[in-house]
Chain A
Amino acid sequence: MNKPATPNSFRTGPDEQGMFGIFGGRFVAETLMPLILDLEKNWNEVRDDPDFRAELTDLSTHYAGRPSKLYFAEGLTKHLRDVSSAKGLGGGAKVYFKREDLNHTGSHKINNCLGQILLAKRMGKKRIIAETGAGQHGVASATVAARFGFPCVVYMGATDVARQSPNVFRMKLLGAEVRPVTSGHGTLKDAMNEALRDWVTNVEDTYYLIGTAAGPHPYPELVRDFQSVIGTEARAQILEQEGRLPDTIIAAVGGGSNAIGMFHPFLDDRQVRIIGIEAGGRGLDGIEHCASMNAGSPGVLHGNRTYLLQNADGQIMDGHSISAGLDYPGVGPEHSWLRDSGRVEYVPVLDDEALEAFKLTTRVEGIIPALESAHAIAHAVKIVPAMDKDQIVIVNLSGRGDKDVHTVASMLGMEI
């Protein structure tokens, strides 16, 4: 594939057709076209509307707890400096965490859900559907549905229902109906298929609250804009706390909503190195991973063209990750474009490495990170010791890990 020419700005996409270069688009059934055109129209009306923005800001502040803190992870920094010294390097950058785990519902997902529920309300919709992997988006959707009085149906792969039982229970408490999906491997991909089938059936009154920066245009753009609060805050916070921009920012990429939210405000700061972490699962040699941008190829799924895990016949593969939130064989289209344009590096982190980072962070920081976020921390653990002491790394701590304790316990051979 030809590498696209470097644009003047990396922040102008998508174009009017919803394309980021060759990625993105609107690959949906005709039944859904009028709906996504209507969504786009409404989104364009409200995105710069001061009233809409004011309502969202008020909820973000008083309901979700924004701004989230930018925390100097002193314990992890010290640990990695010790590692650096032991290697005779004598370095180790300062590590900061963007604390999305402190948000209401425990992850970055609430940012997008608050924005979209206000949009659904304005559009006069009566019912919310959502797909979820780890259950973080399902919980955030069920939460805003409860807050605004919408009935809510969450589609969740049967495998994920089993491995994320605390979140399933939370959704039910919040009044949502959780529908387990048994097709495929019973993970996020299958949940998304089923949510699309629901939407194509219930077109009149239903709002599809997509949880990641993927799907047909305008979802990738809309979700990115709601999540960009992460990077916008982090950028201002690091300038205030350190007086300068970071050297490197790192975030985990499943569909990629926390990552694009973190990255987008930094894209035109060319001196900032940006790294997205894919789920390397049990290694990229086989098929037990979800590293679509490292081991996949461009294809069309779920309304957009993007990097996918697929076979030579164009059939989508079921990936694997220890982390349900990263267990998706595709990625948001803007990430695919950022990959091909070279602005963002995407690297895999293995299940075991994420697990080690999970344990390390818990021990030296007293923070239990989500397994998704642990992937990003694991990469920081790899690169920070070789960096200089006056350098700065920000890791997006996208969610808290309470939901993962059962998975981690079983990985460690413990019963709880």
Chain B
Amino acid sequence: MTTRIDRRMAKLKAEGRPALVTYFMGGDPDYETSLSIMKALPRAGADVIEMGMPFSDPMADGPAIQAAGLRALKGGQTLVKTLELASDFRAGDDETPIVLMGYYNPIYIYGVDRFLVDAKKSGIDGLIVVDLPPEMDEELCIPALKAGINFIRLATPTTDDKRLPKVLQNTSGFVYYVSMTGITGAALADTGKVASAVKRIKGHTELPVCVGFGVKTAEQARVIGANADGVVVGTAIVNAVANVLGPKGEKTADPAEAVATLVSGLAQGVRSARLAAAE
């Protein structure tokens, strides 16, 4: 089985540069706006799209993504609509991989089997479910793999060499290395430590390793991208949306344009990553 993620990662490897993985919150601040943000991402240079599924109690997220999820829920977003967003996007783009990221409960309530059928139909390529560690693989990971959807696992600084094989066992698509212990959007960890962690993980797997949590600028994307197969940016993008929303949620500028500007810069960062490393 190959997915859009596998194909995209292989292509970028051949080009010799890391992937820019961009996270945005589905439905933030409303359905139409977030669809326009989603469409803007690949045009601005994003290689993989991570779409947040809003949840009322995002335990691993910092204030920015918490607020984005609440804006989306207030705007009427549901898991049904998040899948619709993917379908609508797919109508105009059949290449860019889409990964859904969020928490298990909305999927559990939707029904795992029904969700996997509908997600596949909507053009979803992978899942990142924060609160499903390998100990709970029977819940969603194994069924997802059977349905032909990648299950992308988070590896963290607390995942030691003894535990790493367990974490990697049923992982596919790529490995998402969380650069630090903490919630999304905190300060970036020591880049030297991140580089050696990526190297450690690559010693255990052939899968691409993407690094996230704390990457906000083109320069950080360049530095992280020198050693990783991909760089994930989330909070900075969510903030770009928040920054053009007024106190009552009214738009003071075009959120899609604000996101595109940021992502273009980040795309420059990852595209210069290997050149920099080679110097």
Contact = CB atoms under 8 A, between A and B. Distances in A.
A114 B154 CA distance: 35
Contacts of A302: 57, 59
A17 B135 CA distance: 8
A34 interface: yes
A200 B182 contact: yes
A27 B105 CA distance: 10
A33 B167 CA distance: 11
Interface string A58-74: 00000000000000000
Contacts of A34: 158-160, 163
B155 to A, nearest CB: 7
Contacts, number: 114
A30 B159 contact: yes
B250 to A, nearest CB: 23
A236 B72 CA distance: 54
A27 B104 contact: yes
A32 B136 CA distance: 14
Interface string A200-218: 1111100000000000000
A91 to B, nearest CB: 45
B9 interface: no
A416 interface: no
Given A197-B60, A201-B186, A203-B181, A314 B136 contact: no
Given A25-B136, A33-B135, A314 B183 contact: no
Given A201-B186, A301-B57, A314 B106 contact: yes
B107 A314 contact: yes
A305 B136 CA distance: 11
A33 to B, nearest CB: 5
A407 interface: no
B179 to A, nearest CB: 11
Contact of A29 (B56, B110, B154, B163): B154
A201 B189 CA distance: 12
Contact of A300 (B78, B105, B160): B105
Interface in B106-164: 106-110, 130-133, 135-136, 153-160, 163
Interface centre among A30, A200, A203, A312 (most CB of B within 10 A): A30
A315 B73 contact: yes
Interface string A176-216: 00000001100001000100110011111000000000000
Contacts of B60: 29, 31, 196-197, 200
A230 B181 CA distance: 38
Contact of B131 (A27, A184, A308): A27
Question: How large, as a class, is the contact surface on chain A?
Answer: 35 or more
Interface in A53-111: none
A28 interface: yes
Contacts of B159: 30, 33-34
Contacts of B133: 26-30, 33
A32 B132 CA distance: 11
A29 B132 CA distance: 7
Question: How large, as a class, is the contact surface on chain B?
Answer: 35 or more
B223 interface: no
B66 interface: yes
B178 interface: yes
Interface in A28-59: 28-35
Interface in B21-80: 54-60, 62, 66, 73, 78-80
A299 interface: yes
Contact of A27 (B136, B156, B183): B136
Contacts of B135: 17, 25-26, 33
A310 interface: yes
Nearest to B167: A30
Contacts of B56: 184, 315-316
A33 B135 CA distance: 9
B116 to A, nearest CB: 16
Given A25-B136, A183-B66, A300-B131, A314 B105 contact: yes
Nearest to A317: B56
Contacts of B110: 314
B59 A299 contact: no
A202 B107 CA distance: 29
Given A301-B105, A303-B131, 6 more contacts: A35-B158, A189-B57, A300-B105, A301-B57, A308-B105, A313-B106
Interface of B: 54-60, 62, 66, 73, 78-80, 103-110, 130-133, 135-136, 153-160, 163, 167, 178, 181-183, 186
28 contacts: A25-B136, A27-B131, A27-B132, A28-B131, A28-B133, A29-B131, A30-B153, A30-B159, A31-B157, A31-B178, A34-B158, A34-B159, A34-B163, A35-B158, A183-B66, A184-B57, A193-B59, A201-B183, A300-B103, A300-B104, A301-B57, A313-B78, A314-B55, A314-B79, A314-B105, A314-B109, A315-B54, A315-B73
Interface of A: 17, 25-35, 183-184, 189, 193, 196-197, 200-204, 297, 299-303, 305, 308, 310, 312-316
Per CB-CB distance, the 8 closest pairs between chain A and chain B, nearest first, are: A314-B109, A314-B106, A201-B182, A315-B56, A31-B156, A313-B78, A314-B105, A27-B131
